[in-house]
Amino acid sequence: MKASMKIKRWESPVAGYLFLSPWLLGFFLLTLGPICMSLYYSFTDYSLLAPPNWVGLENYQKIFTTDDTFPSTLKITITFVLLTVPLRLIFALCVAMMLNRPMKGISFYRTMVYFPSLIGTSIAVSLLWKNIFGRDGFINDILGFFGISGKAWIANPDYALGTLILMMVWQFGSSMIIFLAGLKQIPKDLYEAASVDGASKWRQFITVTLPLLSPIILFNTVQSMINSFQMFTQAFVVTGGGPVQSTYVYVMYLYHTAFTKFDMGYASALAWILLVLIGLFTAVLFATSKYWVFYENQGGKQK
């Protein structure tokens, strides 16, 4: 009787909310509160130096009608996302497949490959990248060794965005680890059966590996897309948005609007537009996932 009473006592939702209370307090006070305030500020003229003045949809109307910087930064950011995400995922998957092979010292190789992602998108990494692709940087030194004249990669608007894309692709470790975990979950029997049926390695990759990895591909795609839309530190440190604003991404424009011009109302509107844009891209991915994402526990295609 006592045991059953204890079970009923712990089945009460009060205990669950009690354990969740530290996270709930942090969420409502430090996350949800600022989110709601930013939504309110997006409808105001607010400069931090005076009380917010309600202006309705004026900020949004100005963004979509008279702001010449908004479409250019949006174009640069979407271009960055569309190039970075597939390149990063393809490279991460290729490396994960190589590291999934049995070989001597595989743990060391996995650590070395993952190491760039441990240091994240810090300022130190951005400064290192800036030196590597500078006029007298490491890349041009290698090209000079082969008699090739290097370029000012960061100072040239034709190549500056490409250097940032390479930097994001280089930090593929987190996606690679997730792909590697997914590859280890694929039953070896499927590859053996495909091999008996005469399927080549490429055919096995198309018919076995990709379908069973499709849920992980979807997850990595969404994560990489969100991170790419929010790219700021690399552009701020490496190129400063230049040259001639060729790397002036959306979040950098938002940052300058908020902390250089102190136009917090306008910056809040820009932030909410970015949130809606990321939501739309994510919704498209999930809406189309039913055509290419397969779940083994559902007997195949997602329903």
Q: Is the pLDDT of residue 77 over 90?
A: yes
Q: For the segment 205-230, what is each residue's pLDDT rounded down to a tens digit?
A: 998 899 999 999 999 999 999 999 99
- Tell me whether residue 276 is in a domain: yes
The Cβ of residue 266 has, within 10 Å, a number of other Cβ atoms equal to 26
- Tell me whether residue 296 is in a domain: yes
Q: What was the pLDDT predicted at 303?
A: 44
- Tell me whether residue 144 is in a domain: yes
> Residue 199's pLDDT band (boundaries 50, 70, 90)?
confident
Share of the chain above pLDDT 70, in %: 91
- Tell me whether residue 55 is in a domain: no
Task: Give the mean pLDDT of 11-40.
Answer: 86
Distance, in Å, from the CA atom of 299 to the CA atom of 296, rounded to the nearest integer, reads 5
Q: What was the pLDDT predicted at 297?
A: 62
Q: What was the pLDDT predicted at 1?
A: 46
Q: For the segment 88-108, what is each residue's pLDDT rounded down to a tens digit?
A: 999 999 989 988 887 777 777
Q: Which range has highest mean pLDDT (4-18, 49-63, 285-299)? A: 49-63
125 Cβ contact list (under 8 Å, min separation 6): 116, 119, 167, 171
Q: Is the pLDDT of residue 272 over 50?
A: yes
Q: Is the pLDDT of residue 3 over 70?
A: no
220 versus 6: the higher-pLDDT residue is 220
Q: What was the pLDDT predicted at 119?
A: 67
CATH at residue 132:
1.10.3720.10
- Tell me whether residue 20 is in a domain: no
Number of domains present in the structure of the chain: 1
- Tell me whether residue 57 is in a domain: no
Buried/exposed code over 138-148 (b: 16+ C-beta within 10 A; e: otherwise): ebbeeeeeeee
Q: Which residues pair with 44 in a beta bridge?
A: 54
CB < 8 Å & 24+ apart, contacts of 266-273 = 266/59, 266/62, 266/63, 268/38, 268/39, 268/41, 268/42, 268/46, 268/59, 269/42, 269/43, 269/59, 269/60, 269/63, 270/63, 270/70, 271/38, 271/42, 272/38, 272/39, 272/42, 273/60, 273/63
CB < 8 Å & 24+ apart, contacts of 226-230 = 226/278, 226/282, 228/80, 228/81, 228/84, 228/85, 228/168, 229/77, 229/81, 229/274, 229/277, 229/278, 229/281
- Tell me whether residue 182 is in a domain: yes
pTM: predicted TM-score of the whole model, two decimal places: 0.86
Task: Give the mean pLDDT of 56-69.
Answer: 93
Task: Give the mean pLDDT of 231-240.
Answer: 88
Distance, in Å, from the CA atom of 252 to the CA atom of 260, rounded to the nearest integer, reads 11
> Residue 16's pLDDT band (boundaries 50, 70, 90)?
confident
- For 157, the 3-state DSSP assignment is coil
8 versus 146: the higher-pLDDT residue is 146
Domain boundaries, position 295? 67-301
Distance, in Å, from the CA atom of 252 to the CA atom of 73, rounded to the nearest integer, reads 9
Q: Is the pLDDT of residue 124 over 80?
A: no
> Residue 10's pLDDT band (boundaries 50, 70, 90)?
low
Lowest-confidence segment of 102-111, 146-155, 277-286 by average pLDDT: 102-111
What's the mean per-residue pLDDT of the chain?
86
- Tell me whether residue 121 is in a domain: yes
